[in-house]
Amino acid sequence: MSQTFYRQHLCDCTGAMAQVGSSLRSRFRGCLLGALAGDCLGCPYESGTLLPKGVTLMENVVEFFQSFDSKRGASKLTFTDDTAMARSVAESLIHCKGKYNARDMARRFSEEYAREPGRGYGANVIDILPALGDPNTEDIYAPAKTQFDGSGSYGNGGAMRIAPVGLCSSENLERVIEIARESSKLTHANKLGYNGAVLQACAVHSALHSDPVTFDTTSFLDGLLRVMDRVEGTDDLYAGKLREMKKMLASDPSTEDVAKKLGNEIAAHRSVPAAVYSVLRCLRPVQGIPTDNRLERTLIYAISLDGDTDTIASMAGAIAGALYGREEVPEAWLEALEATADALRQADQLFDIMQGEGGRGDQK
């Protein structure tokens, strides 16, 4: 697909496919580190938090981030299924030189789950993960189609792991859409599930090629709207939420109202929009979040929406990290989070593959 198509359908929004500020390599790193950080930092809040009397969730999260101890030594903050599966997506894309291979990716999901089943996987997806690694499974998409009496899962497990797909094509948005949809269908056959992954992958892709200095929120949303209008057809579920976001960004509702309107649950259509909104709202300061670091602000805001905190923060972190780059990742996080070296390695390997594919080049 041509650069013209790309500009018309997504990125005319952002003015240019500029790499102002951070280099493209740094954006790749920021994306995977942001996703990892959102998962690790959101996880402690996932099952609800007992707040001291008179303390709001946002105040509690701000304090958690401020008291962050970079000398945690052996007791690193651990990642959950979100990162476990995202790492498998990245590893498969790296192994297959940037191409999507359904069998390879499915087998990696299955093996990763067998290795560490206690990472907090969704209650239903675990029923089909073993079959995804079984060479006797004839149709690798078949197990997912059996979920929920044949309607397929609309959990956010397809979207939570999709960030590497948003990185995997320099200008070809159609390819991003197709790989996001197909790779999600390995576990999430419900259109709400895989369309959530399409939206998240496109948000990452668009952020990656946007200039954070001249970033235009309306154009960014319009680009995503064009994709979702086309992908959803008459459904208008994700597209409707994107339209709603424009109004919300003007009226600036409370985090409680944002969670009510956009959702904060485990369903893809009740969490992906909240992640996108968190990034857009945190382009500018937020009352009650005293930091100039926009990635950190985004994660605090996303976690303050409550509910499925690891996943909403991870998806928001991936988009924000792709926009701001690795420079926005606090050094303390690199010390304190599990598996940061793996995220950096995978980001660099994906970047090198995309460069070899005829990417536009790292400008630093």
Binding site for ligand R7I (CB under 6 A): 80-82, 120, 122-125, 148, 151, 153-157, 160, 190, 266, 308, 310-311
**To the nearest whole angstrom, how small is the minimum distance from the Cβ of residue 127 to Mg ion?**
17
Residues at the interface with Mg ion (CB under 5 A):
80-82, 120, 308, 310-311
Q: Among Mg ion, ligand R7I, none, what does residue 34 contact (CB within 5–8 Å per kind)?
A: none
Nearer to ligand R7I, 105 or 221 (CB): 105
Q: Is 104 annotated as a binding residue?
A: no
Whole-angstrom Cα distance, residue 300 to residue 110? 32
Judged by beta carbon, residue 10 or residue 179, the one nearer ligand R7I is 179
Tell me how far apart the alpha carbons of residues 191 and 45 are, in angstroms, rounded to a whole number. Answer: 28
Q: Which of Mg ion, ligand R7I, none sits in contact with 74, Cβ below 5 to 8 A by type?
A: none
3 state SS of 124: coil
Q: How far is the CB of 158 from ligand R7I (least distance, A)?
A: 7
Widest pairwise Cα distance in the chain = 57
Shortest separation between residue 81's beta carbon and ligand R7I, angstroms: 5
Identify which of residues 80 and 190 has a Cβ nearer to Mg ion in the complex.
80
Cβ closest to ligand R7I, residue 315 vs residue 353: 315
Dihedral angle computed from the Cα positions of residues 261, 264, 265 and 267, in that order, rounded to the nearest 10 degrees = 70
Any binding-site annotation on 311?
yes
306 labeled binding residue: no
Q: Which does 306 bind (CB under 5 to 8 A by kind): Mg ion, ligand R7I, none?
A: none
**Residue 82 assigned as binding residue:** yes
Q: Determine the Cα–Cα distance for residues 302 and 80; give it in Å rounded to an integer.
A: 17
Q: How would DSSP label each residue in 318-330?
A: HHHHHHH-GGGS-
- Name the binder of 156 from ligand R7I, Mg ion, none, CB < 5-8 A by kind: ligand R7I
The dihedral through the CA atoms of 313, 317, 320, 322 has a sign that is negative
**257 in a labelled binding site:** no
The angle formed by the CA atoms of residues 260, 261 and 266, to the nearest 5 degrees, is: 65
* Token couple for 314: 């991870």
**Cβ distance to ligand R7I smaller for residue 22 or 83:** 83
Smaller CB distance to ligand R7I: residue 119 or 294?
A: 119
Best CA proximity match to 294, nearest among 364, 221, 216, 212? 212
Residue ranges of alpha helices (H) inside 190-293 are: 191-208, 217-232, 237-251, 255-262, 272-281
User: Shortest Cβ distance from residue 104 to ligand R7I (Å)?
Assistant: 19
CB of 307 to Mg ion, least distance (A): 9
DSSP letters along 348-361, please?
HHHHHHHHHTT---
Give yes or no for a contact between 100 and 94, defined as CB atoms under 8 angstroms apart. no
Neighbours of 5 (CB within 10 A): 13
Region label for 32, one of left (φ > 0), alpha (ψ between -120 and 50) or beta (otherwise): alpha
Shortest reach from residue 304's CB to ligand R7I, in Å: 17
Of 122 and 273, nearer to ligand R7I (C-beta) is 122
Q: How far is the CB of 216 from ligand R7I (least distance, A)?
A: 31
Binding site feature residues: 80-82, 308, 310-311
Q: Which residues are annotated as a binding site for Mg(2+)?
A: 80-82, 308, 310-311
